[in-house]
Structure 1
Amino acid sequence: MRNRNIFVVGLDELNRQRLAHLRGAEHYRFHGVIEPEEVNDTEIFPIEDMLASAETQLKAFGEPIDAIVGYMDFPVSTMLPLLCERLGTPSTSLESLLKCEHKYWSRLVQKEVIGDYIPRFTAFDPFDSDALQRIGEAGLYMPFFVKPIKSSGSRLGFRIESPEDFAYAVERLCEGIGTISEPFNYVLEHANLPKNVRSVDGGHCMAEEIIGGWQCTVEGYVFQGDVVPYGIVDSIRYPQVLSFFYYRYPSRLPPAIQTKMQDLTRQIMAHIGYDNAAFNVEYFWDEVQDRIWLLEINTRVAQSHCDLFEKVDGVSHQQVTVDLALGQLPDMPHRQGEFKVAGKFFYRVFFSDATVSQVPSAEAIETLQQTFPGTVITLQVEAGMRLSSLSEQDSYSYALAYVWMGADDDIALEDNYARLAEQLHFAFEDIIS
């Protein structure tokens, strides 16, 4: 049997190592297409040029191309159906993907089948001086949350408590939305959209009723029409703010709540018509009202969760992505990893801005990784960097480092991270608090 050629959009060294551990990887040859710096740590996304360059590279390969995959959010997830269609490799349809990624269209589709599990919502144009009035006319009143129609992570998301909050959010949205709206609109031009969706392009935003509670992510896939949720990851926030503290796997939600979320996931993904691809769905469980809310659907595995699945289940859930792209049923193990629980921690500072004057040395990082076996630490900043130059940050903090850890129980996991965090030494100048 010949080796299978699998092209990975934005392939970097960390993920090359993860992919090498997948089941069947001895029969796979992984190749990069589109450099990682073009799709990561940047806010400039010339999708048309990237697609043309990738298509040229792939067609000149000279051997069979068995699969094209990605593990990142916008623009990679949105580009894949277009690229796969051009090269004739398996992928879900562009329209089914956009029913997840176009936040307004996604809510309309969700409302058709699980309307009791989504917040009230409306779309608005941030450049419309009467936007706040129109949101009220749609029956949505403060407090509410606003975000772009196509967002990436928590970027440009704001909680609105007052007209002043809205004015500040709209100013920021108008300044930054073009970096996503222009490339996203290019993708929309290639899709068959309903009239009421086509009029709400990437330059628009969503306003939604505030929802909250215990946040989690259901990871799943669809293979030949069969929707399969296979793991739930908890998302723990810092107290009193929207910034994430860490992701924890497996979930500690009550079993009945996990089962209901899995049922909702099967229902909505089947209704969308999403097929032969991985996804994840983010939910809240409001413990006080015992109510489940669907937050959003993402058309990929969560890259942040790859190491968690490897630690607990035995391999990264990129196994699912690769198997599906090869047209085969995912061979994902369960609870065969080295640890019983795992977490990805976000080491953050809550400044408006600052200049980084010191970061932990490579030797210090290596010592910590040896002290806490199984730990992986990746710095997101370097000395001399202005925090505001970091991409893909939320609106309230900056993540200086990511820390993946495993442990035998939840208490040991948090204790180990607390000990490690005390030994991560950063320093700053020109701090704006």
Structure 2
Amino acid sequence: MKNVFVVGLNDLNAQRLKRLRGVDDVEFHGLLDPAIVYETESFNIPAMLEVAERQLAEFDGTVDAIIGYMDFPVSTMLPLLCAKFGTRSTSLESLLKCEHKYWSRVTQAEVIPEHIPAFTAFDPFDDQALAKIGQANLAFPFFVKPIKSSGSRLGFRIDNPEDFDYAMERFRAEIDSISEPFNFVLNQIDLPEEIRAVDGGFCMAEQVIGGRQCTLEGYVYEGEVVPYGVVDSIRYPQVLSFFYYLYPSKLPQHVQNKMGDLAKTIMNHVGYDNCGFNIEFFWDEVQDRIWLLEINTRIAQSHCDAFEKVDGVSHQQVTVDLALGRRPDMPRGEGGYGVAAEFFYRVFFKDATVARAPSPEEVEAAAAKVPGTTIIPQVREGMRLSDLPEQDSYSYAVACIWMGANKQSSLLWNYERVLKGLEFEFVDIEE
């Protein structure tokens, strides 16, 4: 029996893992309480590593694999745990060349410069930051974000100096919660001098890029980079927040193939190996130009249900197989649906208190309207929306809804049907 430890394993994913291929001889074990990686933005990585290492050391059996499928801090902890216990993972250096946004851009510029925007790093505590961004030939509008972030947290479009002042205020108030744990990870390797000077307390400014956004899911097995699916990222009209993720992508096949070639080039260049990844791209249809937005060193957990519905198994298959030294046994088109999506039911407040959330019975009844639907409310009565972790800077996702259908138009119709059974109410609303 193989023992696979999963950081932050919750009930939903425990059930998904049991449905993977070739896991009859695998036993999955939770590693770290899900609440400390899902429900907070405060991460004490040394303490988390200590707890995880103690649990693994005290386990009465073999530790055959240690995996995760979440962003920071889980993604950055895995190479450290795997190195200590001799299990398979990519190197910490190759992972940080993807996750440190400035180092990642510098590395991308070495091999695919025509597919990345103009960029520069800046210190959010520097009162001359805006002037220095201008000296780097970045003019309004541009985007800013921390050197390390997740879930679009603290990402802002900057159209004027007032926007920049607001972003700087937010960075100065909140960036320590990111920089301190990320700097701990950075200190575990010898960084190039240019990169060491841009630590977790810095931010990035980048030229605005756009088009049809998508995420390419892939993996590297013994040096071979394999793309296996593209998921479209559909935004709400006129805003930056995601409405739903759609699989499979509706982009032209030649565009998807070119994205796959770019993924092979950059992942080989950084030396990433024996792990899953995903890369977010834009396709500017007017100019027929592909832009690389960012690289994530994990499968996208948000896409697990879609792959299971369309292809037959969650793409956690990739993570488990790679960790056990197997070539991933990822099927194609063997699920019960032609298309699948994760919808984000959002409210566009600055903040509010949840006065009412659907009961478990109401959630179950709403999901039953469309077979195969899963609804996970993200809020509970009495909580402030600002207490939700990993939110973008413009909205709050109060429920996640996974659905499958034969075609995209049916998905949208069914989503509206399900939504009518979910009643949320808010008070103390800050517009």
Whether 2:421 is the aligned partner of 1:412: answer no
User: Could you say which residue in structure 1 is the equivalent of 2:156?
Assistant: 158
Task: List per-residue Cα deviations over 1:159-214 (Å, max 9, x = no partner).
Answer: 00001100000000111111011000000000121110010000000000000110
User: Could you say which residue in structure 2 is the equivalent of 1:327?
Assistant: 325
User: Could you say which residue in structure 2 is the equivalent of 1:12?
Assistant: 10
State the secondary structure of the residue aligned to 1:201: coil
Q: 1:367: Cα distance to partner?
A: 1.2
Q: 1:239: Cα distance to partner?
A: 0.5
Q: Distance in 2 between matches of 1:43 and 1:349?
A: 20
Q: 1:19: Cα distance to partner?
A: 0.4
Q: Is the CA contact 2:367–2:418 (under 8 Å) kept in the aligned structure 1?
A: no
Task: List per-residue Cα deviations over 1:79-135 (Å, max 9, x = no partner).
Answer: 000010011100000000000000000000000000000000000000000000111
Q: 1:389: Cα distance to partner?
A: 1.0
Q: Distance in 1 between matches of 2:190 and 2:225?
A: 24
User: Could you say which residue in structure 2 is the equivalent of 1:178?
Assistant: 176
Q: 1:62: Cα distance to partner?
A: 2.0
State the secondary structure of the residue aligned to 1:425: coil
State the secondary structure of the residue aligned to 1:26: coil
Q: 1:279: Cα distance to partner?
A: 0.2
Whether 2:40 is the aligned partner of 1:46: answer no
Q: 1:364: Cα distance to partner?
A: 1.3
Q: 1:25: Cα distance to partner?
A: 2.0
User: Could you say which residue in structure 1 is the equivalent of 2:232?
Assistant: 234
Task: List per-residue Cα deviations over 1:244-301 (Å, max 9, x = no partner).
Answer: 0000000000111111111111111111110000000000001111111000000000
Amino acid at match of 1:44: S
Q: Distance in 1 between matches of 2:148 and 2:351?
A: 25
Amino acid at match of 2:291: W
Whether 2:209 is the aligned partner of 1:224: answer no
User: Could you say which residue in structure 2 is the equivalent of 1:119?
Assistant: 117
Question: Gapped runs of 5+ residues in structure 2?
Answer: none
1:371 to 369, 372, 377: 369
Q: Distance in 1 between matches of 2:9 and 2:335?
A: 24
Q: Distance in 1 between matches of 2:285 and 2:413?
A: 26
Whether 2:386 is the aligned partner of 1:388: answer yes
Amino acid at match of 2:166: Y
User: Could you say which residue in structure 1 is the equivalent of 2:288?
Assistant: 290
Q: 1:346: Cα distance to partner?
A: 0.1
Question: Gapped runs of 5+ residues in structure 1?
Answer: none
Among all aligned residue pairs of Structure 1 and Structure 2, give the percentage whose two residues are the same amino acid: 65
User: Could you say which residue in structure 2 is the equivalent of 1:86?
Assistant: 84
Whether 2:53 is the aligned partner of 1:67: answer no
User: How many correspondences in the alignment?
Assistant: 431
Q: 1:72: Cα distance to partner?
A: 0.5
Q: Distance in 2 between matches of 1:181 and 1:61?
A: 32
Q: Is the CA contact 2:366–2:419 (under 8 Å) kept in the aligned structure 1?
A: no
Q: Distance in 1 between matches of 2:335 and 2:149?
A: 33
RMSD: 0.7
State the secondary structure of the residue aligned to 1:393: coil
Q: Distance in 1 between matches of 2:402 and 2:411?
A: 10
1:244 to 237, 242, 245: 242
Task: List per-residue Cα deviations over 1:361-392 (Å, max 9, x = no partner).
Answer: 21111112222011000000001111111111
State the secondary structure of the residue aligned to 1:309: helix
State the secondary structure of the residue aligned to 2:280: strand
State the secondary structure of the residue aligned to 1:220: strand
State the secondary structure of the residue aligned to 1:23: coil
State the secondary structure of the residue aligned to 2:334: coil
Q: Distance in 2 between matches of 1:71 and 1:227?
A: 18
Whether 2:344 is the aligned partner of 1:346: answer yes
1:35 to 18, 23, 33: 33
| TM-score of the aligned structures, taking structure 1 as reference length | 0.99
Q: Distance in 2 between matches of 1:187 and 1:123?
A: 19
Task: List per-residue Cα deviations over 1:226-253 (Å, max 9, x = no partner).
Answer: 0000000000000011000000000000
Q: Distance in 2 between matches of 1:371 and 1:303?
A: 25
Q: Distance in 2 between matches of 1:265 and 1:228?
A: 9
